[in-house]
């Protein structure tokens, strides 16, 4: 799929068919994520791929928005490894989110559907995700992405808003 | 350009030809940015488009990594408007970075070259960018993106690293 089409047609997809996400598809998603830039090229983003229903159920209970994780064939917990940072605590959010956005674009391009479930910076959600997937000290969960084949794909509105753009100065 | 190709072939491009970035190209970049998801759908990312050389020079002096901003035909300061957040201070970084990553992918797809110049969370850089483009209280500069037509485009290595991926648990 054309890149601009993938970006502009992306929707948050929260309901999935029973069709599995293949290892080939999964690797394409993770490769896309790893192609994002990172601060100092430090590549601090990490991934925990979860297919096990019990773990997905735990991940789905960390907030009222996390429900889709239970029903998706696969979930990817995107993390920031602060021990991989040149200056710990500076860019781990940026690195993980840039990777995550590539993952969402790639999912759309592959005909998959995904939704970004927020975890960071909510301490209760972060603790619950840490426990669910056993994150070590220094690795911070940023978000869980639920991925599957979409039950349906709504048409995207045009999201361009000129009022968000300032010229030369604010 | 195919979406996966745009994502995997993206490079940080720091030298540009004299060819201008058209308003049509600029709008496509900004539209791509605005198609990124945001926390609660709050859309807190904002953009200051800078073509003026004097302002770009100021932006290029905020850190030793910011040099390309001076030589690019256009710079886009990607900001987070914390006053647009449902819970101020939670998701403005995430929103801006997801938007920024779409902008970089779109630039590659359009044959443009771009580089992400880090601003947040460094207080000195943030103050300098705030002053250069006159950001109001509550609007935080996250990064400056320099955009132009690439002088050359290096081939991308395969950035997939299996050691970044964990299965079921860390």
The pLDDT tens digits along chain B (170 residues) read: 999 999 999 999 999 999 999 999 999 999 999 999 999 999 999 999 999 999 999 999 999 999 999 999 999 999 999 999 999 999 999 999 999 999 999 999 999 999 999 999 999 999 999 999 999 999 999 999 999 999 999 999 999 999 999 999 99
Q: What is the DSSP annotation of B21-77?
A: PPHHHHHHHHHHHHTS--GGG---EEEEEE--HHHHHHHHTSSTT-THHHHSSEEEE
Q: How confident is the model at residue A168 (pLDDT cuts 50, 70, 90)?
A: very high
Two tokens, residue B127: 């103050």
CA proximity to A50, closest of A35, A38, A62: A62
Say if B126 is an interface residue toward chain A (CB within 8 Å): no
What is the CATH classification number for the domain harbouring A74?
Answer: 3.40.109.10
Instruction: Please give the average per-residue pLDDT across A150-167, as a whole number.
Output: 96
The answer for A 18-77 residues in CB contact with B (under 8 A) is 27-28, 30-32, 34-37, 39, 43, 45-52, 55
Say if A86 is an interface residue toward chain B (CB within 8 Å): no
Give a yes or no: residue A160 inside a domain: no
Please answer yes or no on whether A102 and B100 come within 8 Å at the CB atom. Answer: no
CA proximity to A159, closest of B38, B143, B89, B138: B38
Give a yes or no: residue A129 inside a domain: yes
Domain hosting B65: range is: 3-149
Two tokens, residue A98: 């840039």
Pairing of strands A45-50, A74-81: antiparallel
Q: For B99-147, write each residue's pLDDT tens digit.
A: 999 999 999 999 999 999 999 999 999 999 999 999 999 999 999 999 9
Q: For A40-63, write each residue's pLDDT tens digit.
A: 999 999 999 999 999 999 999 999
Say if B101 is an interface residue toward chain A (CB within 8 Å): yes
Question: Chain B closest CA to A18's CA: distance in Å?
Answer: 20
ipTM score over 0.95, yes or no: yes
CA proximity to B116, closest of B143, B137, B141, B136: B143
The answer to whether residues B125 and B63 touch, using CB atoms and an 8 Å cutoff, is yes
Q: How confident is the model at residue A68 (pLDDT cuts 50, 70, 90)?
A: very high
Pairing of strands A139-148, B74-81: unpaired
- CA A98/CA B86 separation, integer angstroms: 22
- CA B85/CA B6 separation, integer angstroms: 31
**The dihedral sign for the CA sequence B93, B1, A32, A1:** positive
Q: Which residues of A28-53 are buried (b: 16+ CB within 10 A; e: fewer)?
A: bbbbbbbbbbbbeebbbbbbbbbeee
- CA A129/CA A80 separation, integer angstroms: 13
- Give the contacts of A86 (CB within 8 A, at least 6 positions apart): A39, A40, A42
Give a yes or no: residue B34 inside a domain: yes
Identify from B6, B10, B120 which residue to disrupt to test chain A contact, counting A C-beta atoms within 10 A and taking the largest count.
B6
Taking contacts as CB-CB distances below 8 angstroms, the residues of chain A near B116 are 37
Question: Domain total for chain B?
Answer: 1
CB B97: neighbour CB atoms within 10 A?
Answer: 29
Identity of the residue in B6, B28, B98 whose CB atom sits nearest the CB atom of A101: B98
pLDDT of B107: 98
Give a yes or no: residue A5 inside a domain: no
Give a yes or no: residue A33 inside a domain: yes
CA proximity to B43, closest of B7, B78, B6: B78
Give a yes or no: residue A166 inside a domain: no
Question: Chain A closest CA to B146's CA: distance in Å?
Answer: 14
pLDDT of B25: 98
Residue A85, Ramachandran bin (φ over 0: left; ψ between -120 and 50: alpha; else beta): beta
pLDDT of B33: 98
């Amino acid at each position: 799929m054309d890149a601009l089409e993938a970006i502009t047609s992306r929707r948050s997809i929260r309901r999935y068919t029973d069709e599995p996400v293949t290892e080939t598809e999964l690797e394409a998603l993770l490769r896309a994520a790893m192609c994002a830039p990172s601060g100092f090229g430090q590549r601090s983003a990490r991934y925990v791929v979860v297919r096990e229903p019990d773990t997905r159920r735990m991940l789905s209970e960390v907030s009222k928005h996390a429900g889709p994780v239970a029903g998706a064939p696969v979930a990817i917990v995107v993390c920031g490894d602060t021990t991989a940072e040149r200056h710990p605590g500076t860019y781990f959010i940026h690195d993980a989110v840039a990777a995550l956005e590539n993952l969402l674009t790639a999912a759309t391009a592959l005909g998959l559907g995904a939704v970004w479930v927020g975890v960071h910076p909510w301490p209760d959600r972060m603790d619950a995700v840490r426990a669910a997937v056993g994150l070590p000290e220094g690795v911070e969960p940023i978000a869980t992405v639920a991925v599957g084949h979409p039950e349906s794909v709504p048409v995207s509105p045009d999201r361009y808003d000129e009022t968000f753009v300032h010229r030369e100065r604010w």
